[in-house]
Amino acid sequence: MDLHRKIDREAVKKYAYLNIVGMVGSIDNDFCGTDMTIGTDSALHRIIEVVDAIMTTAQSHQRTFVLEVMGRHCGYLALVSALACGADWVFIPEYPPEEGWEDSMCVKLSENRARKKRLNIIIVAEGAIDCHNKPITSEKVKDLVVQRLGFDTRVTILGHVQRGGTPSAFDRILASRMGVEAVLALLEATPATPACVVSLCGNQSVRLPLMECVQMTQEVQKAMDEGRFVEAVRLRGRSFENNLNTYKLLSHKKPDAELPKTNFNVAVLNVGAPAAGMNAAVRAAVRVGITEGHKMFAVIDGFEGFSRGKIKEISWGDVGGWTGQGGSILGTKRTLPAKYLEKIADQMRTNNINALMVIGGFEAYLGLLELSAAREKYDEFCVPMVMVPATVSNNVPGSDFSIGADTALNTITDTCDRIKQSASGTKRRVFIIETMGGYCGYLANMGALAAGADAAYIFEEQFDIRELQANVEHLTEKMKTSIQRGLVLRNENCNENYTTDFIYQLYSEEGKGVFDCRKNVLGHMQQGGAPSPFDRNFGTKISAKAMQWISKKLKETYRKGKIFANTDDSVCLLGMRRRNLVFQPVAELKTETDFVHRIPKEQWWLKLRPLMKILAKYKTSYDVSDSGQLEHVAMHSQKEVETGTI
């Protein structure tokens, strides 16, 4: 073939330019401009699985564990896993310990032992350094602990375990969303469009110029090499900086003499059904509250327990080791406060409660509406109140995410994977799987997207017998290909007549001779289990921010020796809305709520419905109104991060 043959003019004209769109796949999360890279969440799952297993063995043997995780140039995995398991100490390249760290660390470890803590965990990023840019290795840390304290200390190096395993639900959905955004970016590109990278900002896909992101990523390394560590952390972006600030806030208790004294009492309670991550949220609330100078109280068994006086002071040490615990340690009930108003007001008065933090689902939201309405009659409820959404159903208005939904989604995805594998030796089988969620189709829809399902039936998108018939025909066609199994998810309340049994029988009858059917109701396993890294991290950060809001409101509403807060903006829900965590008065959320079906009137994830259908090879259109525009990489000031204006 003649390599020198000239390209004809037509081809030159047609292929005059090349558009490039990138997506970052890296377990280290070391690329500036995105909150999360594809693969990071799955790596965190592997790390947390190991940490949870180590915790049980270390508690029986009273040991110290030094855990080395990946991250030669970026400490994200080490930092977030330290945050997610409440590690005693963490070493990362961007934030080296101060001079004399050896003494500080040993003092901290011995204090924890003196408080009857049987386990110490130290997490070391493989690229960890001291302030003179000298490496800090896991062996060095171990030797130090053994020599100085004589503690039985073991090193575990995780290595390539972090790269393996099946992807988490978050990664599957993130990669799918980014893939769509990348294709849209290419379709909309012109010859003048610069190469861009698809990134995640909060819960929104954004497009950023590739070269700006690369330059900023290189700037981080340069800042570290030159010892400008504060700058390095800032360049990593708001997500990294928030994680670091939250870890610093929660891991080290200042001596009592150094803590401010506000004389305010703040109560924390769980309301609704249990959700994984609730305990991480309670721990963060208690520790931030104590740091801010408040006296913290824990209410046992929700509003019902509150009315019976089941309330006690809770200390910093009481919540140690809570981040990895599933369910609700405080106990939670669905009971609403309306029938106990007088008794709850009595308890608020008796214990002099100046603010309330409620962690829970739709009942928590209704509960705050009821307490807010009761302010006219009871002055005791004229105090700042904040709600942090925690429910597997993810059906609370005002927030894209709820604590617990990610763990439930992983349970569904893992179960669907196993169920599909069970059919690998049996040809031509379709599984009908029922998920929880009340009337909210979040779990069914996102579970279907993550598990690669063929259909998902939800209440929000009405369906009829014709659609069921079309789905059966689609599966019949699929069975003629090399993939001879099908997966159909159904939300528990999607339709009162088209029940799981009905759909199972319909598919069995219509698929006779082509495929056979099996059904599975996943049930309460979706509420249990250890919280996922996302839920631990989200629960910790959102709860810490809510407690800082309470402190601010207490200062604003303190008049003549007492707290008096009776405006709408003193009863808020803190939720993730697109890019930011936002405080919203619960009274303003009423118009956004379908109270009959206990769901928000508009839900962001419904825009991903067509994506699931396209991936299941249905012909359908995709709504591009939500696609991103090319933006510039934003630099955030320290003040913005601290005050939470971003």
623 labelled catalytic: no
The C-alpha atoms of residue 365 and residue 359 are separated, in whole angstroms, by 9
Residue spans of alpha helices (H) in 565-637: 586-589, 609-615
Query: Following CA atoms 270, 396, 528, 434 in sequence, which dihedral angle do they give, to the nearest 10 degrees?
Result: 150
* 131 contacts 229 by C-beta, under 8 angstroms: yes
Crossing angle for the helix pair 442-451 and 405-422, to the nearest 10 degrees: 50
Residue 432, CA distances (Å) to 273, 369, 472 in order: 25, 38, 12
The span from the first CA to the last CA of the chain, in angstroms, equals: 58
Please calculate the CA angle 621-623-624 and round it to the nearest 5 degrees. Answer: 120
Query: Which H/E stretch holds residue 197?
Result: strand 196-201
Any bridge partners for residue 518, and if so which? 431
Beta strand pairing call for 89-91 and 120-125: parallel
Please calculate the CA angle 439-445-451 and round it to the nearest 5 degrees. Answer: 140
The C-alpha atoms of residue 618 and residue 573 are separated, in whole angstroms, by 39
* 193 contacts 630 by C-beta, under 8 angstroms: yes
Task: Using the Cα atoms of residue 194, residue 198, residue 204 and residue 208 in order, give the sign of their dihedral.
Answer: negative
The residue type found at 155 is V
Nearest to 269, CA basis, from 385, 357, 162: 357
Of the listed 28, 41, 88, 171, which one is catalytic? 28
Residue spans of alpha helices (H) in 423-464: 442-451
Active-site residues, by number, are 28
